[in-house]
Amino acid sequence: MLFLILAAGLRADWIELKDGTRIEGSISVVTPESIIIEMQSTPTIREEKSYPRANVANFQRATEDDLAFAEIANTTIPSTADSTAVFDAQAGKAIRKFIANYPYSKHVAEARKLAAKIDAEQARIEAGEVKIDGEWISAADWQADTGELAGRIQLSKMKEAPDPVAALKIFEVIEKTHNTTSSYPEAVRLAIVQADTLRTQIPKMRTDLDLRQQQQEQGLLLASEDRRILLQQGIDQERATNQAILDAARTSGSKWPPLVADKKALEDLERTADAERTRLSTMDTASMEGGIAAAREADAQIAAGELEQARESLAKSEKLWTQYIGLTATKEALKKAEAAAPAATPGQPGQEAKTTP
């Protein structure tokens, strides 16, 4: 899991015309006669436009440190962390690089605050704590219940995944190593939703791919010989890159390769999403969750000394979901409570009634 950088909209270059119009982009040239600014006219096309100085009321051109700080200003620390690797992510490195490169920048104080937050979180992780959905778990609690908590961590990562394929890849981990935790039934339901989302995205991607290929073919036909060679090289390079990504995914053993512009790969993903949804839909997550609830009820009853009721709740939990990892701890707690019950003072909670012969 990496830091999230939300730098969009932070670019500091702008021109304000005398009619009040504001144009944002990247100012490339400023002369007494005109200002040239490069703008993002569409998501994939940038264009330069020149404005006479007589029409410009005001403008701002970002300094080098402004631009560098824009890349890190909205860095957020993940709400779930179980490894210091997250603090070595690219965003964390970028913050420290900014401080080193621009020690006298007006933004350096804010950058140091971001770095201090990272250092504080890293220290807690190094001390053995973990963070799940913003909640810190002590090292002792983590060691005592690693199996259950590890499932919660993976579920949180699955929820924060940037796209359906990434979420489904995390589900593979949950299903392989955390399929007896309380997180599993929720993860199954989320995987179904993500498979549905992926299934709706793929047809549009295939249509866009077909249109793009048609445009490429038309471009090759209309281009000059030199230009045609360059275009073909670009197309071949993209295909080689996509194939390398798919080969790496296949080698990893995952059934969920990244979404790439490849018709066969998209068709394979479509079939996989359909099959996975069908398989997961047959799972009785309601019974699993019923078993979890019954086990937790048994825990509460044991704490209250209601041992007979706890036995009934435990039996119900085992019937609903035998594999639930929490059952082991509940059984042990009940066993200890039963062993301690005869020694309890008469009338206290947990004292089993005795009949005098």
Concatenate the DSSP letters of all residues of 9-41 into one string: T---EEEEETTS-EEEEEEEEE-SSEEEEEEES
In a domain, 152, yes or no: no
Are residues 219 and 268 both part of a single domain? yes
Single-letter residue type at 101: N
Indicate the pLDDT class of residue 5, thresholds 50, 70 and 90: very low
In a domain, 299, yes or no: yes
Are residues 292 and 275 both part of a single domain? no
Number of domains the chain is built from: 3
Are residues 207 and 276 both part of a single domain? yes
- Whether the model clears a pTM of 0.85, i.e. scores above it, the answer is no
Put residue 103 in one of left, alpha, beta given phi > 0 → left and psi -120 to 50 → alpha: alpha
Structural domain boundaries enclosing 269: 202-281
Tell me what the mean pLDDT of segment 214-240 comes to: 88
Tell me what the mean pLDDT of segment 226-246 comes to: 88
**Which one is predicted more confidently, 78 or 128?**
128
In a domain, 234, yes or no: yes
In a domain, 235, yes or no: yes
pLDDT at 180: 97
* pLDDT tens-digit map of 299-308: 999 999 999 9
pLDDT at 350: 46
pLDDT at 49: 87
Are residues 311 and 259 both part of a single domain? no
Query: What does the buried/exposed string (b/e) look like for 327-353 if buried means 16 or more CB atoms within 10 Å of the residue's CB?
Result: beebeebbeebeeeeeeeeeeeebeee
In a domain, 130, yes or no: no
Indicate the pLDDT class of residue 220, thresholds 50, 70 and 90: confident
CA gap 227, 330 in Å, rounded:
71
In a domain, 71, yes or no: no
Task: Evaluate if residue 357 carries a pLDDT over 50.
Answer: no
Task: Evaluate if residue 242 carries a pLDDT over 90.
Answer: no
Q: Does residue 124 contact residue 153 with C-beta atoms inside 8 Å?
A: no
Q: Please, which residues bridge with residue 17 across strands?
A: 56
Indicate the pLDDT class of residue 10, thresholds 50, 70 and 90: very low
Task: Evaluate if residue 297 carries a pLDDT over 90.
Answer: yes
* pLDDT tens-digit map of 17-59: 999 888 888 888 888 888 888 887 666 667 888 899 899 898 8
pLDDT at 298: 96
Pick from 250, 281, 312: which residue ends a domain? Answer: 281
Are residues 206 and 248 both part of a single domain? yes
pLDDT at 41: 67
Are residues 275 and 207 both part of a single domain? yes
CA gap 60, 57 in Å, rounded:
11
Indicate the pLDDT class of residue 356, thresholds 50, 70 and 90: very low
Are residues 271 and 305 both part of a single domain? no
**Lowest pLDDT segment from 35-44, 62-71, 211-220, 260-269:** 35-44
pLDDT at 164: 95
In this structure, what token pair is assigned to residue 34? 């005109």
Strands 56-60 and 13-17: antiparallel
Mean pLDDT of the chain: 86
Single-letter residue type at 5: I
In this structure, what token pair is assigned to residue 142? 């983590």
pLDDT at 65: 85
In a domain, 206, yes or no: yes
Task: Evaluate if residue 313 carries a pLDDT over 90.
Answer: yes
Task: Evaluate if residue 156 carries a pLDDT over 90.
Answer: yes
Are residues 269 and 307 both part of a single domain? no
CA angle 177/181/182 to nearest 5° reads 145
pLDDT at 64: 83
* pLDDT tens-digit map of 96-132: 889 999 999 989 999 999 888 888 988 999 999 999 9
**Which one is predicted more confidently, 250 or 347?**
250
Query: What residues contact 30, with CB distance under 8 A and at least 6 apart?
Result: 36, 59, 61
pLDDT at 251: 87
In a domain, 238, yes or no: yes
pLDDT at 225: 87
Indicate the pLDDT class of residue 354, thresholds 50, 70 and 90: very low
